């Protein structure tokens, strides 16, 4: 049993599997906060019990908090938006280089992007799909097959998961970042893009829109089919004025990113002021 007066922050995936333990700890005097990245697709009742038993809930975005409220009713949620540290500005590439930093998973929709890019073979560009191929090997195989099907092996590289200097080199080369997941609680690759002065395309109706904000550094798209994405990419690739406008907006956003110290202060204030 945890000591009275202890504060614990538990990941929502773990906490939702242990609602009775959370209730017991809170009743014994331990403050238990749940860090809920997004509402679970399954196990509604377990998640509801865990959330109701907890001292409070921390969400990474207002979007994530609203999803929890829609699913479970009013929650005692605190929004602590993830921070980002300003990085060296990207140099970009010629031809233009598109970076997609996300694990190869169906939710991330890399196959949709590959299909959209297949419609732009009359233009010069390169793209890199940067993320783990191990999380869903079957889907990763689909992505590789799509690249081969459209004959894009010379334009689209599938790098696997990168970190450190290798990832920084991809950011350094990028002119545009794409995160078109069907669902995102926030989308940290969006703020990482802005930290490098790189504009971003995101999907409407996801937390990635919140991460992009009203910076003007890119666009939020209604992606019911690959045509919308292809049209947007074609416009960007062929309109140098638009490229410069988005780039300037991203460089401005880079100067005004929230740091992790603000995130930490928000969490600390919440847990210190909680009554139980």
Give the residue from 12, 65, 22 showing the smallest Cα distance to 43.
Answer: 12
Q: How far apart are CA 135 and CA 157, in angstroms?
A: 18
Q: What is the mean pLDDT of residues 90-101?
A: 98
* pLDDT at position 1: 45
User: For residue range 44-78, what is the model confidence (pLDDT) as tens digits?
Assistant: 899 999 999 999 999 999 999 998 888 888 677 89
- Count CB neighbours of 174 within 10 A: 28
Q: How far apart are CA 204 and CA 268, in angstroms?
A: 31
* pLDDT at position 41: 79
Task: Assess contact for 65 and 77: CB atoms under 8 A.
Answer: yes
pTM more than 0.95: no
* Residue pointed to by tokens 């038993």: 53
- Residue 34: pLDDT over 90: yes
Helices (H), the chain: 12-15, 19-27, 44-53, 62-72, 110-118, 137-149, 164-173, 188-195, 207-212, 226-238, 240-254, 260-273
- Give 69's contacts (C-beta < 8 A, 6+ positions apart): 75, 77
- Residue 4: pLDDT over 60: no
User: For residue range 205-225, what is the model confidence (pLDDT) as tens digits?
Assistant: 999 999 999 999 999 999 988
User: For residue range 114-169, what is the model confidence (pLDDT) as tens digits?
Assistant: 999 999 999 999 999 999 999 999 999 999 999 999 999 999 999 999 999 999 99
* Residue pointed to by tokens 């292809």: 230
User: For residue range 240-269, what is the model confidence (pLDDT) as tens digits?
Assistant: 999 999 999 999 999 999 999 999 999 999
């Amino acid at each position: 049993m945890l000591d009275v007066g202890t504060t614990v922050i538990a990941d929502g995936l773990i906490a939702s599997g242990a609602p009775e333990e959370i209730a017991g700890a809170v009743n014994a005097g331990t403050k238990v906060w749940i860090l809920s990245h997004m509402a679970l697709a399954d196990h509604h009742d377990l998640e509801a019990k865990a959330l109701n038993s907890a001292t409070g809930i921390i969400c990474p975005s207002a979007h994530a908090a609203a999803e929890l409220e829609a699913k479970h009713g009013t929650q005692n949620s605190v929004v602590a938006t993830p921070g980002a540290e300003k990085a060296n500005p990207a140099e970009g590439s010629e031809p233009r280089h598109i970076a997609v930093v996300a694990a190869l998973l169906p939710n991330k929709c890399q196959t949709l992007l590959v299909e959209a890019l297949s419609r732009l073979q009359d233009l010069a560009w390169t793209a890199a799909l940067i993320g783990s191929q191990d999380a869903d090997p079957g889907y990763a195989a689909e992505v590789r097959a799509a690249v081969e099907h459209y004959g894009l092996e010379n334009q689209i590289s599938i790098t696997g998961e990168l970190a450190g200097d290798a990832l920084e080199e991809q950011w350094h080369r990028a002119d545009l970042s794409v995160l078109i997941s069907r669902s995102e609680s926030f989308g940290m690759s969006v703020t990482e893009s802005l930290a490098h002065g790189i504009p971003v395309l995101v999907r409407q109706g996801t937390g990635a829109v919140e991460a992009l904000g009203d910076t003007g550094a890119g666009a939020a798209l209604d992606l019911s089919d690959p045509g919308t994405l292809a049209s947007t990419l074609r416009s960007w690739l062929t309109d140098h004025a638009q490229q410069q406008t988005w780039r300037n907006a991203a460089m401005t956003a880079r100067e005004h990113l929230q740091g992790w110290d603000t995130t930490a202060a928000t969490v600390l204030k919440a847990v210190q002021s909680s009554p139980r």
